[in-house]
Structure 1
Amino acid sequence: MKIEAKKILDFLHFTENLKKLTRHSWLSDGRQESVAEHTWRISIMFILVEPHLGIKVDSLKTLEMIVIHDIIEIIAGDVWAFDAFNKETRELKIQREMAAIDEIRKTLDNETGEKFHALWHEFEAKETNEAKVANALDKLEAQIQHNEADISTWLDIEKEMLHMMHKHVEFNEFLIAFKEVIVEEGVEKLANSNSSEEALKS
C-alpha cells in the first residue's frame, strides 16, 4: 500500500511541471498562461455546458480525458496550434506525444497508466462523444483566453484562426452557438482595437 502511495506522490511531483509549462496565451493581467490553468478551465467549461449538450456523454470519462490530455506536454513540450499547420512540425508533434504517453504509461506501470494511455488516444481520435466534446472545449477555451488577453498579444494568424473553429463544434448545436458568441466577442475586440488605432492616427 505504501509503495503505491509513494508512486502516486512521485507522479504528482511530475505533474507540477504543468503549472510551470507556459502556453502561447496571455492572461488579462499580462501574465503568460500555464498549461495547468488551461486544463482547469476546460474542466469548468465542461461542467457548465454539459447540461445543454443534448447528447449522451459519460461525465466522469470526459473530465478525466480533459484533465490528462495535455499531460504529455511535460515530456513532449507544447506546440502552438498555428505551428502545427506545417506538415513536418505536425508529424514530429504526433511522434513526440505518442512516445510521451507511452513513457507515462510505463512510469505508472499500473491500471491507471493503462487508463491514461487509453483516454489520451481516445481524445486524439475524436470519434466518441466524450472525445469530441473534450476537443471542442480545448479549442474554445484557447480562444476565450485570447479574447481576454491584450490585443497586442494576438499574432496575425490568430486573428485568422478566430474564424476557423467551426470544424471542432459542428457535431453539436449548443457548441456551435457557444462558438458563435466566443467569435462575436473576439470580432468585437478586434473592431475596438482597430477603432482605437484609427483614433490615435487622426
Structure 2
Amino acid sequence: MSTGYSGDGKAVRGNYNVYPEQAAAGLWANPTDLAKFIIDIQLSLQGKSNKVLDTAFAGKFVTPVAPGAALGNFIIQNKDTRYFNHGGANEGFRCVYYGSIEDGNGVVIRLNSDNGRMLDEIANSVSIVYKWKDFYNPIVRSAVAVPLDILKTYEGDYDIMGNTLTIRIAGQPMLIVNKREFYPIYFSSQEDFFQPIFLSI
C-alpha cells in the first residue's frame, strides 16, 4: 500500500492509519475494484448483469431519495445526463468515483494525499478527453494584475459558515483552508477575485 501524506506534504505516521470501523473508514478498496463496481452497476441498469446488484436494486441505487442523494451514493444531474458518484477520505488519502447512468462512462481517482484539490481537475480532464456529455462546462475567466497595496487589503481571516478561510499575499495571492490547504486565487478586477476550485468564493 502507498504511503499517505498530509496536506502539507508530511508522511502519515505508520504510512497509513488503521481505523476500528468495519464500514466507513475501515472499508478499503483499490481503484480497479471500484471501477469494476461502477461497470457492473451500469450493466445492471441495462439488464445485462446482476453480480453486485440486480436491475431493480441498481435502479434504486441511482434514484434520488433526497435532492442529489440516492441509496449509498450521490446523483449529479446536468441537463439530461445523470452521474452517480461518491468520495472517500482516510487520513493521508482522498478519492472519488463517477459513473454515468445512461452512457457507460466512468472514472475512479485515488490520491495518497489529504490535499484532494486535484480530484476535480483530473475528473474534469477525463471528461473532456473522452467527451462525456454534460459533465464539465468550464467557466472561462481572465486574470488581471492588481497593485500590491490593493492586494494587501484583502489579507486576513474570513469566517464562512463557521469555517475559517485565510487570504495571504506573498508573491501569488493564496487562499488557505483549515490552516493547511493552499489554493491560488486570481483577480478579475481590483474588486473581484476567483478560485477555480471554490467557484462560490
Higher relative contact order (CA 8 A, sep 6+): 1
- Determine which structure has the larger strand proportion and give its number: 2
Task: Identify the TM-score tier after normalising by the shorter chain.
Answer: under 0.3
Q: Please say which structure displays the higher CA radius of gyration.
A: 2
Q: Looking at secondary structure, tell me which structure has more helix per residue.
A: 1
TM-score of the pair, normalised by structure 2: 0.25
- Normalising by structure 1, what TM-score? 0.25
